[in-house]
Structure 1
Amino acid sequence: MTPDIHDIAGAPVIIGAGIAGLLTALHLAPQPVVLLSRTPLGTEASSTLAQGGLAASLGEDDTPELHLTDTLAAGDGHCDEQMARRVIEAAPQAIENLIRLGVPFDRSLDGRLRLGLEAAHSRRRIVHAAGDATGRELFRALLGVARRTRSITIMEGMTALRLVVSEGSIVGLLAVLHGGVFALPTRRVVLATGGIGGLFCDTTNPLASFGHGLALAACAGAELADLEFVQFHPTALDGPRRPMPLVSEAVRGEGAVLIDEHGNRFLADTLGAELASRDVVARAISDQLAAGHHVYLDARQCLGARFAKRFPAIDAICKQAGIDPAVQPIPVRPAAHYHMGGVAVDAEGRSSVSGLWACGEVACTGLHGANRLASNSLAEAVATAVWVASSVAGTCAGWQWARLPATVPVRPDPSSIHQLVSNALGIIRDGKGLREAIETLLPIAVGGMAAADPALVALLIAIAALRREESRGSHYRSDFPGRDAAALPSRLTLCTAFENAVTLSWQVSERSC
């Protein structure tokens, strides 16, 4: 049964019902809150696909300072150190909160939390649940609590189309449910919509994750940050399935190695080898594939017959594809996985638009910098959800009915731009490809068709990537392979982005005459 819109008008609205959205709603209790999910809960959330865990300095040989050092190193000089410290120091308590909510984290025989190792971490500090099904177990526990919490109104099958802004503040949102479009009045909206992997041909994200929240925020006038930094996970299962199943970094943490079809371990002489930062490993695999090689993750020596017990979900996925990891190497290739950029937010999750917050992957807090350290993303979501909820709860709840605009956006579909985005915004980029992509994406972004919002997000990323004339972290420019010490954080609004795009398209057209 769908709740009456009049009964919930004015309540804060959370768009997105993954882990970040659920936790924000739970932390707002007992204050009434509306949680919107485009699909039935859990069917298309990146959270449920997360195999990695939560990073926190819980070991006897670990400290927040060590965790911070690893985070800053992975971020390649681009992290907000103050925010990174705040999240890292909050992570252990956030995990305790999750335990109280019923999340069944894995434990050793003595009852202590079992800590795993992942790439670019100097200590074992990754907390998992059900081995390689952390996201699924975390989501399941939180959803159970949310469904029992009377202050949370869950609206499934509802898609937010646009935020309504008046005099620089949020006054409502447009949404579609059962084919009908309506305005939901509220002065408080939290974006928790996930990432952008659905823009690419090869991704580990749900295919509908095209950056929906970024499009909503951009059209509302919010400032976006670090959009050029897109992380490609090095080891997705190479096959026809989309989204691509992830072969967790934790497999390499247990000693699995990367080899070509001849058994050559091509990362053996690289600093960190298979546990180097993700951008290094992804580019190395990309180079192998470009040279005509096949790439495999070999766990036969380090795990062998123990693979199925340690990584039951990955084992099942591989066997569905006809591969037994105990006796066969796993074919892998990089895939779009995580977006370090997003809606620019402050320490409480507030955007530059009054009444708009962001939490989880859609937000850019500055924690990840140019390259996310493995398993810091879930830690960020569970830590920041508390701060976002507190900020929302302390904000005036007054509201008014918002008017429907003259035109209503259509439901978005990114499929027609997959190849364009993959070619221009992949692991290795160059100015020529970025300029051509911007020229092609601009008319699509303003065309009002199903690809408009996805094209808008891709356009924003391409402009940010073109403006960063250096290589840093996950952003690699073949025409600017060096790092520029003077490069600054990149910020965009829709207005400045369109000014850039129109000017560039005109310049390209002039040259082609």
Structure 2
Amino acid sequence: MKTDFLVIGSGIAGLTYALKVAQDCPDKTITVLTKTFSDETNTKYAQGGVAGVTDFDNDSFEKHIEDTIIAGDGLCDSEIVEIVVKEGVERIKEIISWGAHFDKEHSGEYALGKEGGHSEFRILHHKDVTGKEIEDTLLRAVASKPNIKLISHCFVVDIITQHHLGFLVTKATPDIECFGVYVLNMKTNEIEKIISKITLLASGGNGQVYRTTTNPSIATGDGVAMLYRAKGRIENMEFIQFHPTALYEAGVTGQAFLISEAVRGDGAILRNDKGEAFMEKYDERKDLAPRDIVARAIDNEMKINGTEHVFLDCTKMDMEKFLHHFPNITDKCLSLGIDVSKQYIPVAPAAHFSCGGIKTDEWGRSSIRNLYACGECASTGLHGANRLASNSLLEAMVFAHRCYLNSVEKIETLEFNTAIPDWNAKGTTAPKEMILITQSLKELQLLMTDYVGIVRTNIRLERAMKRLDLLHEETEQFYETTFVSPQLCELRNLITVGYLIVKEAQLRHESRGLHYNTDYPAKNDIVQNIVL
């Protein structure tokens, strides 16, 4: 199969890019691949909203820029921050013009929320299902474009480069080039090749590397792992954001239900098992401190008191407003017998967002030619050491636009590479025991949770790396001798992601933002991004 533009992922980043290219290049083919259903993305589960300066009477670009840089703890690229904040307003207007609805006050003005780290009310939202509203809007828009082909249940196995043509490719190789991808068609169970002129990785996050995460099961770091195997550049993977307030359900692992930060923005208070409001002990901003600070505070309270969760107190809030703004959260709590007007919500931190990823420039270009990246799989320079709440959807829209602008400029100069060999499965057999995959995944998630969580130490990181080495060795042997399956590919990708997180955490001899190591409790004067 050949396509002019190939998009890996059907979240806000991939669909925004595909839609823009389709509008600008009606004579070109755009193919969007997604490994499950087209709407099953991290975007769909985003609750809080989109941060953007729309109320210029009370807010400003300068304030949003400053809030972002403060949250990023010295590692944000200030030029990128300015680009995203200033260009983001037009992207918000654009998504509204495509049909997305954000909540409004009775006056007709947008109902703006406030979340941790923000100095002003600037979060546009659609109740507590903003991501789903955006995802549905984009899917409708994409369906109206005849030159976009959206294919579900296709698992991208590897990026095709000169390596597959028999050349030795290392990180020092100049001009590594992407020619397309190998894909496991889950409907036919065959590996197919898709040749493309331009490829965009918009493959989402990697929360499933931890035992408990707000991410869906598809968030297995596929894009980051594939690019690393293709000898592309990765940076800042040590900065994994744990959302402070995932709903705690005893015995439940995997995807945790998110209690949006907007709930605290509207007045909810964190309390420990004694009923004490504790955030004032940790930060003058109390419950609206940046997420890294709140997550560490909760983690500390849980360890001090020997509990598995703390509580979120919503009982003093305006319940009419709460029910209007957070119907999804209300229904979920009621399903567990929790009446938020009378009872506290049990919450605990869960892996939420990767601030690092595929290193890109200001146009979303990766270190591999004709391969772009945007969305959570990319490291654009916006987030630094910690993401400011609700900046992720904004970033995805801004960089999808920039990837589109840059890629359509050069599409006419590119040709298909027709010398790509078919996938070689010679010598492989069907796996005899799936337990070898499922048990390794459990081991990986447990070691990452226990050794590479909110608080780290050198010895924990060392132990994690030793166990990762063994898991990597076992899994690669299995991969070389058995048929490719989505489960095996995801395990392989998650082990790579785990390695990158641990390796970059070991290289950062300081505590900064989301990376807190008790052996290096202070920040260094020299601030740098760690690139692998």
How does the TM-score come out when normalised to structure 1? 0.91
Measure how far apart 1:423 and its partner are.
1.3
Q: CA RMSD in A?
A: 1.7
Q: In structure 2, what residue type is equivalent to 1:174? A: Y
The within-5 A match list for 1:35-434 is: 35-43=32-40, 45-59=41-55, 60-129=57-126, 131-166=127-162, 168-177=176-185, 178=187, 179-239=189-249, 240=252, 242-269=254-281, 270-291=283-304, 292-293=306-307, 294-304=309-319, 306-395=321-410, 396-401=413-418, 402-406=420-424, 414-434=441-461
Matched, 1:488 2:519: no
Q: In structure 1, what residue type is equivalent to 2:51? A: A
Distance 1:218 1:110 in 2: 50
Whether contact under 8 Å (1:442, 1:456) holds in the other structure is no
Taking only the aligned residue pairs, the percentage that are identical comes to 35
Distance 1:286 1:123 in 2: 27
Whether contact under 8 Å (1:36, 1:156) holds in the other structure is yes
Deviation by residue 1:153-198 (Cα, 9 ceiling, x = unmatched): 0011101000110172111210011201111111321110111101
Distance 1:92 1:369 in 2: 21
Whether contact under 8 Å (1:199, 1:415) holds in the other structure is no
DSSP-derived class of the 2:254 partner? coil
Whether contact under 8 Å (2:34, 2:155) holds in the other structure is yes
Whether contact under 8 Å (2:208, 2:254) holds in the other structure is no
DSSP-derived class of the 2:461 partner? helix
Whether contact under 8 Å (2:75, 2:527) holds in the other structure is no
Whether contact under 8 Å (1:172, 1:185) holds in the other structure is yes
Measure how far apart 1:452 and its partner are.
2.3
Measure how far apart 1:383 and its partner are.
1.1
Q: In structure 2, what residue type is equivalent to 1:155? A: I
Measure how far apart 1:375 and its partner are.
0.3
Whether contact under 8 Å (2:74, 2:527) holds in the other structure is no
Measure how far apart 1:425 and its partner are.
1.5
Q: In structure 2, what residue type is equivalent to 1:170? A: C
Q: Match for residue 510 of structure 1?
A: none
Deviation by residue 1:254-284 (Cα, 9 ceiling, x = unmatched): 1100011221111134210000010110001
Q: In structure 2, what residue type is equivalent to 1:399? A: F
- Give 5+ residue unaligned stretches, structure 2: 168-175, 479-487
Q: In structure 1, what residue type is equivalent to 2:466? A: E
Q: Match for residue 483 of structure 2?
A: none
Counting matched residue pairs gives 483
Distance 2:463 2:373 in 1: 31
Distance 2:405 2:29 in 1: 13
DSSP-derived class of the 1:418 partner? helix
Deviation by residue 1:234-256 (Cα, 9 ceiling, x = unmatched): 00000126310100000000110
Whether contact under 8 Å (2:193, 2:423) holds in the other structure is no
Distance 1:384 1:455 in 2: 28
Distance 2:102 2:50 in 1: 10
Whether contact under 8 Å (1:10, 1:397) holds in the other structure is no
Q: Match for residue 13 of structure 2?
A: 20
- Give 5+ residue unaligned stretches, structure 1: 493-513
How does the TM-score come out when normalised to structure 2? 0.88
DSSP-derived class of the 2:493 partner? helix
Distance 1:140 1:186 in 2: 27
Q: In structure 2, what residue type is equivalent to 1:459? A: Y
